[in-house]
């Protein structure tokens, strides 16, 4: 009876706003058909708006902000799978306009929570006891909410402060449906759009869901945390929460409560006298160890998953998304680091190939050119968004001239590294990767013995000799000019008014053909849906047809007059 009274007290502290919270559509049980309809109509709605903006040449910053907010809301409405996709895109300033990146960052730590009453019921059901018998105190209102679950503060009967991570209801069923629906779309795109094949979408899709399905197993996440803690047991400045296995199942995870300052909160870090350069060094060296020595690294380092203690220690949260790669031996690590310092493109590519991060092809010249740009422009200079945009165009052009594919696992390594790079540049505008990695190399040198030490000495001598024999600035410019001539990067442009007019007409004609195709397909689809009594879908497709026809009329007017 007392347990029932205490349980009632736990529920009584729930805020009324949370108790009366309205469930989103994806939070309820669904069939495959209803889920497919929800995803398809949401995507078509976004595409319809973007086509309308493109047809009417509307591209103001205010409109982009509006479309970005609509995209975020659509991803929230579609649920965890699409929230994860949005979190990935929020780190890619090289792929999306700034307004979209800024809006998508809300998905990192501002995901709406689910009902606290449901969370308490899940904890009690999973652990097999009433909540008061498990915890001395349990805060009903969530401390934070994420795409796959939410976190509540609690206290064990032994007095230890903990956090309890609770998985969202119906999550496994929802991911299973999304796997089938998105898989069908990926296969269709792969079959119907040849240009998509260069990105190996089926492999990326399989890798994405493989990691996502592992992430919802909280027992596996706890094991990942234990393994990560073991890897850094000799590093006092890396903090990993302790897992309490007695209070953990596949859907409930209880871990040590480690509060900290969010890593991108520069004002709070400065208020505690913490040095951004030191934090960058700690983070970069930590990731170099994960990637090069351990072969086991945290693949989701967005700012919501990283915090800093008031003494400057780095805290990692959320061990659901971890990735394994082949670890390098000591000689390989030394050779790779000095290859980056010397901008030795060949050696870096050899190492990445050994790690399985680049698939060797007959002609590696395209890979070499991209790697050369990366080593030249991104190891010793602050972030330049304009240069980033220019490089993106160059890379796209290289893909068109000579397509090649990278393994799917590399996309997640790049995701974590680009996210970490963005955090580092937020902390320090003059962030330098090579300088930040220096403590890692010194530690590697001090811990080296025998062949490893000899390799370090040889590489150091080679690096010094290379610096002494380095050509003058004028010679470097001439060498670069000759290399660009040989690669065909330098082109002679001749402007002729007649040619420009002809090219403009060709461009407008292609736009007209595209809009004609869109209008025809959507009109046909609308008629088919109308015959099948799907009035909502038919009306939507007819609206897209109308937008396409309006855009076609405007383009035809520009073409003729």
- Residues that are catalytic: 300
Instruction: Report how far residue 68's alpha carbon sits from residue 103's, in angstroms, rounded to the nearest whole number.
Output: 6
Token representation of residue 60: 């103001």
CB 85 within 8 A of CB 106: no
CB 72 within 8 A of CB 85: no
Please tell me whether residue 161 adopts helix, strand or coil conformation.
strand
Residues 6+ apart with CB under 8 A from 271: none
Task: Tell which residue, 298, 256, 57, has the closest CA to residue 158.
Answer: 256
Chain centroid to CA 114: how far? Answer: 23
C-alpha atoms less than 13 angstroms from C-alpha of 164 in its C-beta half-sphere? 32
Residues 6+ apart with CB under 8 A from 152: 116, 119, 138, 139, 140, 141, 142, 143, 163, 164, 166
Exposure string (b/e) for 509-529, b if CB count within 10 Å is 16 or more?
Answer: eebbebbeebbeebbebbeeb
Instruction: Report how far residue 229's alpha carbon sits from residue 365's, in angstroms, rounded to the nearest whole number.
Output: 41
Cα(first)–Cα(last) distance of the chain, in Å?
85
Please tell me whether residue 335 adopts helix, strand or coil conformation.
helix
CB 126 within 8 A of CB 249: yes
């Amino acid at each position: 009876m007392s347990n029932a009274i205490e349980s009632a007290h736990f529920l009584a502290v729930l805020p009324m706003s949370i108790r009366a919270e309205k469930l989103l559509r994806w939070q309820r049980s669904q069939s495959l058909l209803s889920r497919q309809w929800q995803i398809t109509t949401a995507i078509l709605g976004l595409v319809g708006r973007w086509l309308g903006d493109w047809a009417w040449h509307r591209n103001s910053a205010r409109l982009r902000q509006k479309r970005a907010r609509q995209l975020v809301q659509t991803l929230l409405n579609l649920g965890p799978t699409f929230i994860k996709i949005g979190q990935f895109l929020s780190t890619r300033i090289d792929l999306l306009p700034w307004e979209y990146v800024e809006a998508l960052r809300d998905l990192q730590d501002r995901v709406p929570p689910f009902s606290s009453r449901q969370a308490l019921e899940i904890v009690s059901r999973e652990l097999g006891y009433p909540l008061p018998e498990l915890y001395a105190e349990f805060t009903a209102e969530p401390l934070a909410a994420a795409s796959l679950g939410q976190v509540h503060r609690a206290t064990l009967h032994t007095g230890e402060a903990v956090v309890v991570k609770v998985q969202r209801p119906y999550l496994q069923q929802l991911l299973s449906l999304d796997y089938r629906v998105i898989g069908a779309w990926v296969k269709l795109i792969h079959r119907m759009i040849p240009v998509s094949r260069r990105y190996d979408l089926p492999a990326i899709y399989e890798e994405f869901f493989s990691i996502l399905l592992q992430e919802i197993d909280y027992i596996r996440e706890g094991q990942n945390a234990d393994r990560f803690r073991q890897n850094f047991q000799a590093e006092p400045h890396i903090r990993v929460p302790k897992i309490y296995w007695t209070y953990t199942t596949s859907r409930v995870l209880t871990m040590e409560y480690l509060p900290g300052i969010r890593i991108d909160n520069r004002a709070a870090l400065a208020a505690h006298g913490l040095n951004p350069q030191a934090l960058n060094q700690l983070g970069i060296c930590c990731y170099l160890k994960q990637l090069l020595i351990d072969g086991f690294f945290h693949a989701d380092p967005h700012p919501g998953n990283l915090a800093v203690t008031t003494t400057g220690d780095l805290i990692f949260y959320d061990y659901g998304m971890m990735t394994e790669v082949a670890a390098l031996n000591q000689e390989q690590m030394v050779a790779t680091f000095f290859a980056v310092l010397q901008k030795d493109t060949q050696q870096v590519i050899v190492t990445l190939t050994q790690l399985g991060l680049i698939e060797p092809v007959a002609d590696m010249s395209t890979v070499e050119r991209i790697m050369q740009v990366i080593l030249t422009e991104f190891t010793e200079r602050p972030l330049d968004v304009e240069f980033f945009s220019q490089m993106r165009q160059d890379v796209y052009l290289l893909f068109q001239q000579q397509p090649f594919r990278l393994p799917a696992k590399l996309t997640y390594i790049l995701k974590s590294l680009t996210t970490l790079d963005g955090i580092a540049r937020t902390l320090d505008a003059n962030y330098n990767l090579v300088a930040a990695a220096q403590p890692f190399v010194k530690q590697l040198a001090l811990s080296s013995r025998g062949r490893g030490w000899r390799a370090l000495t040889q590489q150091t001598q080679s690096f010094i000799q290379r610096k002494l024999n380095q050509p003058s600035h004028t010679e470097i410019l001439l060498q670069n000019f000759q290399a660009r001539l040989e690669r065909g990067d330098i082109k002679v442009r001749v402007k002729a008014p007649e040619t420009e007019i002809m090219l403009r007409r060709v461009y407008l004609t292609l736009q007209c053909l595209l809009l004609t195709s869109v209008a025809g397909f959507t009109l046909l689809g609308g008629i088919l849906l109308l015959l099948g009594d799907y009035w909502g879908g038919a009306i939507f497709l007819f609206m897209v047809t109308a937008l396409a026809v309006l855009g076609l009329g405007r383009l035809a007017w520009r073409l003729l007059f």
